[in-house]
Structures are given as C-alpha cells and as structure tokens.
C-alpha cells in the first residue's frame, strides 16, 4: 500500500513533503485505536524517507506523552533516516507535545508550535493506587509469594515501603537523565532557560516555549510548507494502515479482549490529556 502510494507520487511533478502524524498517547497497547508506538509508525517513517522527491519530512504531533522507550525508539529511527537521506525534519505541534510528546518533537531539526499549544513536561512520573485499607475493611487477606524481596514492589494491595520507593526513584532518575541529555543535545544553545525551570516538569504555552528556546517559531504545517516550497507543494499524509477488521470495529482480531484493552487504554489516554486541561 505505502509502496504504491510512493510510486504514484513519483509520477507527479512538484515538491513533496511527507507528513507523519503522531497523535495520542505513546505506548504499545494491543487493540487501542490510534496511539503512537514504533510498530505502527515503522512503515510510515520508512515510506516518508524513501520518497525521492521529498524536500523535507514533517511531523504532526499531538501527544500528552507516555512510554519513554517508545518515544526514544521512534525519535532515534527518525534521526537515523534523516542523516542517511540528508532530509530536514520539521515538527509541528498541535494541541500538545508534553513529556514523551516533546521527546518526539525533539527528533526534528525545527519545532513549530501554535501560540496556545502546550509544550514541555520534561520529567518522569509514576502513579498508581493503594488498596490496603480497602481490602482490610472487606476482610480480604492478600497472599503473594515471590523469589526476591523486590519482585512484588508496588503491589497495590500491600503497604508502600521505603525500599520500593528508593528503587523507583533510582529508575526514574536514570530515565530523567536520558531525557535531560536528549533535550540538551537536540536544543543546545537555543535554550534560554535555567535547568531548574527547564527540568521542573512544568509546561508552557507555545509562545512561551519559543521564548525559552524549546521551540523555534509560531507556525502551522500548511502555511510553513507553502512558504518554503511554494504554493504547489504536496503534503502527503503517511498514517499507519489498519486491517479491514480494525477499520470496521476499531479493534484487532480478538474482539472481546481488544474491546476491554481498548477501553482501558482510552481511559488512560483521557487521563493523560486531562492532566493538561485538554
């Protein structure tokens, strides 16, 4: 399908800008509608950089974040192909590029935002619930047997321990360090904010993000591409292709299981957006 699209484009004249759309929470969740992960984006990314008439590759981003691993994998693939094909990559933030969403934007050579976009949240968060008092009131006894003291860490049905928190903080510290290094490497001297403010985990409006050097300018995809490549530039959307069953039902092959997973994933994604008032 993607190869056929590339072939048709090559037979037409004029500059081409492939557009990779990244919308939703980041992470591989079976059965979820949309979302962002390496498996679903691998094809569109390869197709975008394989277009011989491409003048640039655009990323259209609208994500509240999610998996740091998937964010890193996708961004690394984009940077590798950009270097191989010697193509500039330009990111356009819609409503939000927060946390892992901003990590994706950093894969671009330039970042454009709307004045009201939400940008930032450079940090790591882990959240959960504790049910120890609830099960005690219900007279439920929790039984768990592990081969090591850390194997059952953060079991929501047992009290939180200081040892578990120390392990989590160590893990978060490693991921946070990678995020900080990525921001410093990609934005470098453009940053006009101190580390205390930049890495506080807060978010900024698009206009403020430009002032701080987190983004380069206010602009939109269509307007900026026409300004650079002319009125006849063709923006070619390369989105993940779903199977017939997924298109009909919005899910995968295991209908009942996928419905449940899709519902949970949708709720989790909605909570991510709600953190930023969206």
Predicted confidence (pLDDT) per residue in 4-61, tens digit:
655 555 555 779 999 999 999 998 654 445 579 999 999 999 999 999 999 999 999 9
Alpha-helical segments (H) within 142-250: 162-187, 195-198, 206-212, 221-229, 244-249
Q: What is the pLDDT of residue 163?
A: 79
Q: For the chain, where do the domains classified as CATH 3.90.226.10 start and end?
A: 2-121+202-274
Q: pTM of the full predicted structure?
A: 0.78
In the predicted structure, residue 200 carries a pLDDT above the cut 80: yes
- The pLDDT of residue 5 is 56
- For domain 2-121+202-274, the question of CATH label 3.90.226.10 is answered with yes
Q: pLDDT tens digit string along 129-167?
A: 666 777 677 777 777 777 777 776 777 777 777 877 888
- Helix, strand, coil % over all residues of the chain, rounded to 5: 45, 15, 40
Question: Across all residues in the chain, what is the average pLDDT?
Answer: 82
Query: What band does 172 get if pLDDT is binned at 50, 70 and 90?
Result: confident
Classify residue 242 by its DSSP letter: P
Tell whether the model's pLDDT for residue 114 goes beyond 90: yes
């Amino acid at each position: 399908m993607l190869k056929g699209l590339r072939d048709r484009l090559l037979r037409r004249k004029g500059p081409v800008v492939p557009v990779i759309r990244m919308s939703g929470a980041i992470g591989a969740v079976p059965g979820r509608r949309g979302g962002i992960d390496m498996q679903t984006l691998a094809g569109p990314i390869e197709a975008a950089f394989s277009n011989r008439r491409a003048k640039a590759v655009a990323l259209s981003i609208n994500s509240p974040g999610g998996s740091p691993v998937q964010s890193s994998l996708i961004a690394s693939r984009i940077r590798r192909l950009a270097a191989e094909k010697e193509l500039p990559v330009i990111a356009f933030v819609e409503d939000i590029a927060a946390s892992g969403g901003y990590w994706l934007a950093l894969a671009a050579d330039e970042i454009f935002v709307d004045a009201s976009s939400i940008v930032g949240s450079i940090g790591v968060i882990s959240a959960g619930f504790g049910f120890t008092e609830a099960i005690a009131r219900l007279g439920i006894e929790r039984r768990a047997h592990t081969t090591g003291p850390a194997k059952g860490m953060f079991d929501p049905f047992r009290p939180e321990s200081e040892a578990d928190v120390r392990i989590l903080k160590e893990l978060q510290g490693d991921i946070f360090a990678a995020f900080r290094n990525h921001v410093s490497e990609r934005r470098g001297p453009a940053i006009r904010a101190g580390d205390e403010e930049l890495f506080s985990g807060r978010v900024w409006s698009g206009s403020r993000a430009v002032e701080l050097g987190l983004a380069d300018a206010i602009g939109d995809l269509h307007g900026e591409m026409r300004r650079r490549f002319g009125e006849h530039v063709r923006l070619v959307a390369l989105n993940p292709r779903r199977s017939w069953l997924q298109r009909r039902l919005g899910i995968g092959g295991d209908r009942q299981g996928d419905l449940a997973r899709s519902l949970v994933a949708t709720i989790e994604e909605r909570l991510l957006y709600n953190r930023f008032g969206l």
